[in-house]
A and B are shown apart, each in its own frame.
Chain A
Amino acid sequence: MNTLFDKIWDAHVVEALPGDTHVLYIDRQYIHEVTSPQAFEGLRRRGVPLFRPGQVTAIPDHNIPTLCQHLPVADPLSRAQLDTLERNCVAHDISLFRIGTPHHGIVHVAGPESGLTLPGMTIVCGDSHTSTHGALGCVAFGIGTSEVEMALATQCILQPKPRPARVRVEGRLPAGTCAKDLILHVISRIGTAGGTGYFVEFAGTAIRALSLEARMTVCNMSIEMGARGGMIAPDDATFDYLRDRPFAPRGAAWERAIERWRALPSDDDARFDAEFTFDAGEIAPMITYGTNPATGIPVTATIPPAADPQALAYMGLHAGEPLVGKRVDHVFVGSCTNGRLEDLRAFASLVKGKRRAPGVTAWIVPGSQEVERRAIAEGVRDTLEAAGFVLRQPGCSACLAMNEDKVPPGKYCVATSNRNFEGRQGPGARTFLAGPLVAAAAAVTGEIRDPRELM
């Protein structure tokens, strides 16, 4: 009577300390340029070698330009951070997916896509959206830099064991809605802290019906309801997704792996400490009006009377007013939430035959080299260009605006990323979170619109 989460977690406990603090063995660690330099510095200070370099993969993504990636990075601080990552990887013999090389991309897009993320694994990265990888049926979560250092030094971290929870979404998603709408709907009901202390398994017929890319969108945002991570039981769709990926097992090893992975799903009588159930049929295209990701409402709804006045003041909005018809200055499609091929396809399908609205600045940023390559190969880029959009190069970009892709103060941006916190997309920037279809509707009309009317 074990859950998917318990099966994986318990198999990785090296030692249990009093008070449910566990020494947890980590199968794979991803690192990037922003949260790793101080960890390497710590190793140097202690004179400790890296324990298992073969289980660490480095990908620079947070701090990189999304145009002209063949040129040296202009910002000296960003460049110094990227150079530091390069030096650390060379010194410790860590595999590094450099900018512009075939496996490069946002860690949470490139990792699963390369076959490095596999069911049953424990995975950490110094980034809260590491929960994305859970879509493949692994225990993956974000950690701080001290824990990055622990994992580099010992391949283990010390963690209190989260409690298992389940979010079931039953039924069918209505036409014109997508995984982003599903997760924004769930978070709007559970709240920003409703998942705190839990590791969430997403289940139910609506979740089963999602593609692997869509499942990643769902698991990605688990952290936005406070959960330690999110995961989905591996099934045939998972195995089909992983088969023949560059770093996935092959031949007999693949067959053995599948056999192991088939035993992972939660047992029928597994006990969860909390259960939440949703009806997929009730989900509409969603958008957020506030400054946390739990402020999602159907795009056609009005801002609730009880909305936080501080958030509304920041956003320049009023309780009771509709969002449809609001002017939009920027549109950002990308990030580890919605920067995959299916997201670009969805955006392209709506803008096809239309034009970018005058006055709208659009950043369309693929999540990885692989996404970019495939978008070009199947004509998505051509569709975008014909409609007046540019397909940029992979990176985190305007999701957290560490590079030059910043929304100016006071401007409105419809973003397919994961956070609408104050200043997240640049000081004073105002973010509406939504899926790629709502973003496309905004990009061609210059205002918030129900995408179903334009499809």
Chain B
Amino acid sequence: MRERFITLTSPVVPLERDNVDTDQIIPARFLKATSREGFGDKLFHDWRYDSAGCPRPDFVLNDPTHRGTILAAGKNFGCGSSREHAAWAIRGAGFRAVLSPRFADIFRENALNNGLLPVQLPAPFLERVFTVTRERPEAAVTVDLERQEVRFEGETAPFDIPPYRKRCLLQGFDDIDYLLSIRDKIILFEKQHAL
């Protein structure tokens, strides 16, 4: 069982960049750990800290006016390496949802497998989130998984999620629980499809 996801209301942390790749989310040199914990501090490490390890004041995660559990980013978020450490790092830093006009395929699956909801939204909707947040960082976004919609400042945008994935998140199940429950079916498949 993992933590359930039902609805979430929070200001967003705006990362207005396209093509944020998983090497930026968590650089390769931090992948030497053998557990899933401890990656949150390393999230966006080389954008967040200078070479001496001091926080860069111009990076949004170091800006005290932007605090929240929803990360909003440009298109093609999570491209590149398949490292699930990227999802662990975002989750480890306290985020529960990421908003983007488009996610890279592997990242989307990795996020879903870690209770981190990837919410794909039309670019103009997200543009408005960015614009309003610049003026009023406290403006809150609501991600409603049950109704599959995002609400912001009186506007609503629907989002897609496969029904199976939705059920898993709402109930706190994961894929392995499900796959283990159909083991007999898998064994039967192997018998019928001697490859």
Interface residues of A (CB under 8 A from B): 11-12, 14-15, 17-21, 23, 25, 27, 34-35, 37-38, 41-42, 46, 48, 51, 62-63, 75, 77-78, 80-81, 84, 120-121, 126-128, 142-147, 149-150, 153-160, 162, 192-193, 196-197, 223, 226, 228, 292, 310, 400-402, 409, 419, 421-424, 427-428
Contact B82 A154 (CB under 8 A): no
Known: A25-B189, A42-B176. A424 touches B23 (CB 8 A): yes
How many angstroms from the CA of A193 to the CA of B80 in the assembled complex?
A: 10
Most interface-central of A18, A157, A226, A422 (chain B CB within 10 A):
A226
The 7 closest A-B pairs by CB, nearest first: A19-B162, A144-B84, A146-B113, A144-B110, A37-B34, A77-B32, A142-B82
Q: In the complex, which of the residues A15, A35, A127, A146 has the most CB atoms of chain B within 10 Å of its own CB atom?
A: A146
Can you spell out 20 A-B residue pairs with CB atoms less than 8 angstroms apart? A12-B193, A15-B182, A17-B163, A21-B165, A34-B32, A35-B84, A42-B176, A78-B32, A143-B109, A146-B175, A147-B109, A156-B186, A157-B175, A193-B104, A196-B104, A228-B105, A292-B79, A402-B29, A402-B31, A423-B23
Q: Does B55 contact A (CB under 8 A)?
A: no
Instruction: Identify the closest chain A residue to B101 (Cβ).
Output: A193
Interchain CB contact under 8 A, A153 and B76: no
Q: Is the CB of A41 within 8 A of B35?
A: yes
Q: A421 — which chain B residues lie within 8 A by C-beta? A: 21, 23-24, 80
**CA distance in complex: A159, B164 (Å):** 11
User: Does B75 have its Cβ within 8 Å of any Cβ on chain A?
Assistant: yes
Docked pose: A25 CA to B185 CA in angstroms: 11
* Interface: B121 (CB within 8 A): no
Asked whether A158 and B106 contact (CB < 8 A) given A38-B36, A428-B51, the answer is no
Pick the contact of B176: A81, A150, A197 (CB < 8 A). Answer: A150
Residue pair A48, B180 in contact (C-beta under 8 Å): yes
Contact A427 B46 (CB under 8 A): yes
**Least CB distance, A219 to chain B, in whole angstroms:** 15
Question: How far is it, in angstroms, between the C-alpha of A345 and the C-alpha of B174 when the chains are bound?
Answer: 48
Q: Which residues of A contact B109 (CB under 8 A)?
A: 143-144, 147, 159-160
Whether, in the assembled complex, B28 has its beta carbon less than 8 Å from a beta carbon of chain A, the answer is: yes
- How would you classify the secondary structure of chain A's contact residues: helix, strand, loop or mixed? loop
Known contacts A27-B195, A192-B19, A193-B102: A18-B82 contact under CB 8 Å: no
Kindly provide the distance from the CB of B23 to the nearest chain A CB, expressed in whole angstroms. 4
B residues near A25, Cβ cutoff 8 Å: 186, 189-190, 193
Complex Cα spacing A226 to B19, Å:
10
* Docked CA distance A413–B189 (Å): 49
- Residues in A whose Cβ lies below 8 Å from that of B80: 128, 223, 419, 421
Bound complex: CA of A42 vs CA of B174, how far in Å? 12
**A145 x B179 contact (CB < 8 A):** no
Tell me how far the C-beta of A306 lies from the nearest C-beta in chain B, rounded to whole angstroms.
Answer: 14
- Name, among A75, A121, A143, the residue most crowded by chain B CB atoms within 10 Å (CB to CB): A143
Most buried by A among B27, B32, B102, B113: B32
Least CB separation from A402: chain B residue:
B28
Q: Whole-angstrom distance between the alpha carbons of A120 and B176 in the complex? A: 25
Partner of A21, one of B84, B114, B164: B164
In the assembly, what is the distance between CA of A14 and CA of B190, in Å? Answer: 9
Q: How far is the CA of A400 from the CA of B27 in the complex (A)?
A: 9
Q: Is the CB of A193 within 8 A of B75?
A: yes
- Which residue of chain B lies nearest to A396 when distances are taken between CB atoms in the complex? B28
Q: Is B83 an interface residue (CB 8 A)?
A: yes
